[in-house]
Structure 1
Amino acid sequence: MGWVEELDELLRVVRRQGSLGEVLHWLGRRIGAEVAWVGGTSTVEAATAGFRRKILDALDEQLRRLAVGRLAAVTAQVGGAQVHLEAFGERVPRPVLVTVSAVELSREAAALASRAGGLVELLGRALAADDSLRGYEEKARQLRFAVLSALMAGDVALARRMTASDVPPLLGDERVRVYLLHCPPADRDRLARAYQDTSGYHGPGLMVHCPSFREHLICPIAENSGAGGHLDLDSVLRRLVRENSSYALGASRLHPLDATAAAYGEALHALAVARNSPERVAAYRGQPSLVHLLPRQAAVVWARAYVAPLHAVPKLTLDITRLALTFPRSAVARLLNIGRNTVAAHCRRAEEALGLDLSDVQARATLDLALSLSSLQSSVQLGPGDTQQAAPSLSELFGTRPATTWAETFLRPLRDAEHRDLHRTVRSWIEANTDGQQTAAQLGLSRNTVRARLRVAERLLNRDLLTTGSGINDLVHALRATSGHRAQPAEESEHRAR
């Protein structure tokens, strides 16, 4: 076999196996020698099975000189064995190929060993480059997640400080639209790599792995996404959905950068609609939030009184509980990288402070509304009389015209002649504390029929009810305001009595 054929065979070994050990095993069989690859720190990185490592103890000086570039190759005799050492590459410390044979290698065998050593060195550089690239991609992924986390917390300045040396175009704009791509979990890495630019971003936006829902890729995109010749990420996402039947895409409205969390919530609801529509793409078309429509002063007085017991719990407990009011506790645990038991412990602490059972959907919706309203306190100036007046009840707030108008508009798609059964189904589902089996028994339907109706309700209401459940609270409020449906649950009465 000529050296060209031997080199072709060696290349096939590299392509098929790709491991250093396999290459050395092939070389040892071809030249009739034991072979080792010694790294720049004189560490044997791989060797054939019969290689005697003690031989290297007698060659310590030669190995050092080869590693630093003072020698290119050395031949020696150790214990009756013929040893040939050759260094490869230009970067010091250089790796060394060591062959040990009973007799001196023929010229052809030595040449093959030299060519194989050069190929192994190139393979090592390629693997090191791959490792570096993977490390860079992982750091870029972590930075993108950190930037998104800062934006979700409303801290745009922090997001910019994180990227001070290379601020992404997203942070140079004033408004953002969040897209939520539903895809197989295994596709997320591939997509993020495919569209990542040299800065580790994605043109005018970011592609961030959702830590809570493994099928979600969160993509905040700047308003002026087409400026400056950047990647048109909006078009890319829509094309991906067209070309992949398992994909779906939800998009929010435009929001200020510091309201990225609100945009994400809208994208969640839009995605629920998209997954139930033939096009598998949907934009959020919801109404203004109930929080901003209730009579501001009265609503804040109620909210401040309702959440007052939480002033005694740690801020971390409050933050975790707030997340658990909207998302499943398992998702909160993945988001914060903590155990589910830890999430449950914080929720119990909040329950004990408030005297609530947060496993009840009504209690969760009430507390979520109170926390959202209490965050508006800074914009409301309460006089001395306001701070001492009795807080209104939630029933009184829901009886106001803005609340009833919002609720009637919210539920209108479920009340037309074509979808009348849906209204009864969602009402029964809430009464059953979102238990599908209990709802089915109450309505005399199968559980699958109940679930199918809820999917239709998601599309009509533009709310996520089943995947993350982030739209359930609005549904609870709308039912209370329009029908007096448990307008003041037992938990609230007990809470107010204390």
Structure 2
Amino acid sequence: MRGDTAGLEGLLREVRRQASRPDGPDAREVLHWLHRHTGADFALVTEDGDTVESSTAGFPREILRSLAPLLARMSGGQLAAAATQADEWNVRCEVLGVHDSRPVLVAAARSALSPEAVALIPHAGSVITLLRRAMDGDRAWRGFQYKARQVRFGVLSALLVAGPVLARRMTTGAVPPLLEADRLRVHLLHCLPADRDRIVRAYQDPSGYHGPDLLVHCPVFKEHVICLIADDAGTRDGYGSGGHAGGLGAELHRLVRDNPGYAMGVSDPHPLSSTAEAYGQAAHALAAARATPGRVVSHRGQTPLGEVLPRRPALAWARALLHPLDSLPKTTVDITRLVTSMPRAAVARLLDLSRNTVTAHIKRAEAALGLDLADARSRAAVHLALALTSGCTTIEPDEPPTHPSLADLLDSEPAAAWARTFLLPLQAPQRRTLQAWIDANTDGQQAARRLGISRNTVRAHLRTAEALLRRDLLTAGTGVHDVVHALHIAGQLPVGLDLPDSPASIPTARTP
């Protein structure tokens, strides 16, 4: 009895050790433990008797052919256990499981097994069955987490590129509650890359979403979590979720407060169809938050440039600039839109495309526009045109038949006032650095050479400018567009772009 007890205690210790493995239990280790304590060799054989799932090194696989009829009867449910001889081997078999898959634990020894060893085999079979179920459960859990993460990413991608209608179609039967909201805020959380999984899972509900909200691993920056927080009640600074105090927004604020390496930018409320604009605001706010003592900044940006320009002339210019894109596939136009807001490699990761595919689409757009979208000034102009035409699908009756130039549009008192307000927080060193940086097409090394300072000093000035302007310049770079326009309006930078001869009128309105 003491021998049986000692064997069971050892088996339980092995089970505890397997259960605590970070990568999940391994039934092979139990087979090796059995071999050490019984002297027999063991194998797990599939229900058809043809495949060995795992075994100890000395297991005689050649005996399986003669055991095939017996193994078939056992897997078929006719026998639960059996003892036999096979080619001078003493064999004991034990069926594992009661469901469709019924593998057999086979023990083979040259000499007869001791009573203690014989008694230990069915216990070991039960343990292996439980470990296999645990492994199956772990695989299912991991599979669910992977699929849920992919669905959340798909919803985010649809909201960024196409809008909530496509997001709902993608999730038919399991529509996230967020898509029922009228408005959302984007909280862009900067954290340790190793913490992202833990944070996302901590607030995940059984459906794979996050209640009325959605947390998504940023596909571009490994230290970012993109948090889409429902904001139907217009809660201040996004602290509440769906208008309730203590929602996920408040939890994210507490995370930043309790973790010195964290920071967060929060957008204004936006309709779901403007998720891309909300993300841009959150990225700008995060750039400022990293240099702020509280490490949380809510977007408080000034009026966008497009809203201070004269509407009808601005639309005429924008439509003339973008009109060549009307003949291109929608995918090319969508990629072009994204490339004005993030690096090409980031667009490739966001859309799960190769960089060569993204480059091919961009070359097609560049050929149609007659522009080099690798140039910061060209990107700024196209980005402004896209912002001006966003949501405008018809030509107003009194829209002018001809278009002005971009220089003409920016040569106005409202634009000058906008630029003065935008550049006001900057000191002379930051202004000089920004001007040289844009002149060098945002190449820090070239800007450093032109200024006669180190590249690290250039980067430090740009970080300071990010905090002062509350614009993201170095991460996704979406704040560069406003810098380009503001410096041009202030006379510190030539516009660098104007349209070639274009049709005197725009025959049709484009749909972005």
Report the TM-score, using the length of structure 1 for normalisation. Answer: 0.91
Q: Percent identity, please.
A: 52
Q: What residue in structure 2 maps to residue 7 of structure 1?
A: 8
User: Secondary structure of the equivalent of 1:200?
Assistant: coil
User: Secondary structure of the equivalent of 2:108?
Assistant: strand
Q: Distance in 2 between matches of 1:7 and 1:182?
A: 50
Q: Distance in 1 between matches of 2:5 and 2:501?
A: 85
User: Secondary structure of the equivalent of 2:425?
Assistant: helix
The 1:266/1:246 distance shift into structure 2, 3 A limit, reads same
| Post-superposition offset of 1:352 | 2.3
What is the letter of the counterpart of residue 75 of structure 1?
A
Q: Distance in 1 between matches of 2:285 and 2:9?
A: 55
| Post-superposition offset of 1:439 | 2.1
| Post-superposition offset of 1:228 | 10
Alignment of 1:311-390 (within 5 A): 311-378=326-393, 380-383=395-398, 386=400, 389-390=401-402
What is the letter of the counterpart of residue 271 of structure 1?
L
Q: Distance in 2 between matches of 1:62 and 1:143?
A: 47
| Post-superposition offset of 1:480 | 1.5
The 1:107/1:122 distance shift into structure 2, 3 A limit, reads same
Q: Would the aligned equivalents of 1:36 and 1:97 in 2 still touch at CA under 8 Å?
A: yes
Tell me which moved more, 114-123 or 159-168: 159-168
Describe the superposition over 1:11-49 as per-residue Cα deviations: whole angstroms up to 9, x where unpaired. Answer: 444416742222212201211211111234433211111
What is the letter of the counterpart of residue 403 of structure 2?
A
Q: Which of 177, 191, 194 in structure 1 is aligned with 2:199?
A: 191
Q: Does 1:492 align with 2:498?
A: yes
Q: Distance in 2 between matches of 1:270 and 1:156?
A: 24
Q: Would the aligned equivalents of 1:33 and 1:99 in 2 still touch at CA under 8 Å?
A: yes
Q: What residue in structure 1 maps to residue 71 of structure 2?
A: 63
| Post-superposition offset of 1:106 | 2.2
| Post-superposition offset of 1:494 | 4.5
Tell me which moved more, 230-239 or 281-290: 230-239
Q: Does 1:248 align with 2:260?
A: no
Q: What residue in structure 1 maps to residue 216 of structure 2?
A: 208
Q: Does 1:438 align with 2:453?
A: no
Q: What residue in structure 1 maps to residue 508 of structure 2?
A: none
Q: Distance in 2 between matches of 1:55 and 1:231?
A: 65
The 1:315/1:167 distance shift into structure 2, 3 A limit, reads closer
Q: Distance in 1 between matches of 2:436 and 2:320?
A: 30
Q: What residue in structure 1 maps to residue 99 of structure 2?
A: 91
Q: Does 1:136 align with 2:144?
A: yes
Describe the superposition over 1:324-349 as per-residue Cα deviations: whole angstroms up to 9, x where unpaired. Answer: 22211111111122222322232222
Q: Which of 210, 213, 217 in structure 1 is aligned with 2:225?
A: 217
What is the letter of the counterpart of residue 336 of structure 1?
L
Q: Does 1:119 align with 2:127?
A: yes
Describe the superposition over 1:183-232 as per-residue Cα deviations: whole angstroms up to 9, x where unpaired. Answer: 23232222222221111111221111111222211110111554698982
Q: Distance in 1 between matches of 2:463 and 2:295?
A: 14
Q: Would the aligned equivalents of 1:320 and 1:332 in 2 still touch at CA under 8 Å?
A: yes
RMSD: 2.4
Q: Would the aligned equivalents of 2:75 and 2:104 in 1 still touch at CA under 8 Å?
A: yes
| Post-superposition offset of 1:380 | 4.2
| Post-superposition offset of 1:253 | 0.9
Q: Distance in 1 between matches of 2:486 and 2:335?
A: 25
Q: Does 1:398 align with 2:413?
A: no
User: Secondary structure of the equivalent of 1:37?
Assistant: strand
Q: What residue in structure 1 maps to residue 285 of structure 2?
A: 270
Q: Would the aligned equivalents of 1:203 and 1:231 in 2 still touch at CA under 8 Å?
A: no
Structure 2 runs not aligned, ≥5 long? 234-239, 505-512
The 1:165/1:229 distance shift into structure 2, 3 A limit, reads farther
Q: What residue in structure 1 maps to residue 507 of structure 2?
A: none
Q: What residue in structure 2 maps to residue 24 of structure 1?
A: 31
What is the letter of the counterpart of residue 146 of structure 1?
G
| Post-superposition offset of 1:55 | 1.7
| Post-superposition offset of 1:484 | 6.3
Greater share of helix residues, 1 or 2? 1
Q: Distance in 1 between matches of 2:118 and 2:109?
A: 11
Q: Would the aligned equivalents of 2:435 and 2:492 in 1 still touch at CA under 8 Å?
A: no
Q: What residue in structure 2 maps to residue 310 of structure 1?
A: 325
Q: Would the aligned equivalents of 1:154 and 1:261 in 2 still touch at CA under 8 Å?
A: no
Aligned length: 489
Q: Which of 162, 182, 186 in structure 2 is aligned with 1:174?
A: 182
